[in-house]
């Protein structure tokens, strides 16, 4: 019986290229999801109440916990600064607060849509 297929350097190289392309696509998808989660985290943690105060946030880290074709869960860690308003000026009376949230997204067409926020 003849050999129909033998492993040589070309087939190994082709497999390596396929694996590298797959890893690059996964990496790019996760980085895009982290960017979307960072923007959503800024919107979740930033607020302003007229006459009372406002908050600013600095996102430290966004980490993809779980990702599938239809949904994803991303943990966002941030530092929040709360400023209180007094006589028309904003004064920081509290130190930075470490905060985090689990953001659940679902996929609609090619867009990630924020579905749920769980504060930690």
- Is 2 part of any domain? no
Read off the pLDDT of residues 8-38 as tens digits, 9 standing for 90 and up: 778 888 899 999 999 999 999 899 999 999 9
CA atoms of 57 and 40, how far apart (whole Å):
12
- Is 3 part of any domain? no
- Is 104 part of any domain? yes
- Is 49 part of any domain? yes
| Residue 12 CB burial class (10 angstroms; 0-12, 13-18, ≥19) | exposed
- Is 89 part of any domain? yes
- Is 1 part of any domain? no
- Is 86 part of any domain? yes
Q: What is the CATH number of the domain that holds 107?
A: 3.10.450
- Is 65 part of any domain? yes
Residue 5: HSE in the Cβ half-sphere, 13 Å Cα cutoff: 4
Q: Which domain holds residue 34?
A: 9-119
Query: What's the structural domain count of the chain?
Result: 1
Evaluate if residue 88 carries a pLDDT over 70: no
Confidence of residue 1 (pLDDT cuts 50, 70, 90): low
């Amino acid at each position: 019986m003849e050999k129909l297929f033998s492993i040589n350097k070309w087939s190994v190289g082709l497999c390596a290229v396929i694996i590298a392309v797959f890893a690059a696509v996964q990496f790019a998808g996760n980085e895009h999801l982290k960017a979307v989660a960072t923007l959503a985290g800024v919107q979740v943690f930033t607020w302003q109440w007229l006459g009372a105060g406002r908050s600013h946030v600095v996102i430290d880290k966004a980490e993809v916990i779980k990702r599938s074709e239809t949904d994803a869960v991303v943990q966002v860690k941030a530092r929040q600064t709360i400023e209180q308003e007094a006589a028309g000026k904003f004064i920081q009376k509290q130190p930075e607060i470490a905060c985090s949230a689990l953001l659940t997204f679902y996929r609609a067409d090619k867009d990630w849509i924020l579905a749920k926020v769980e504060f930690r």
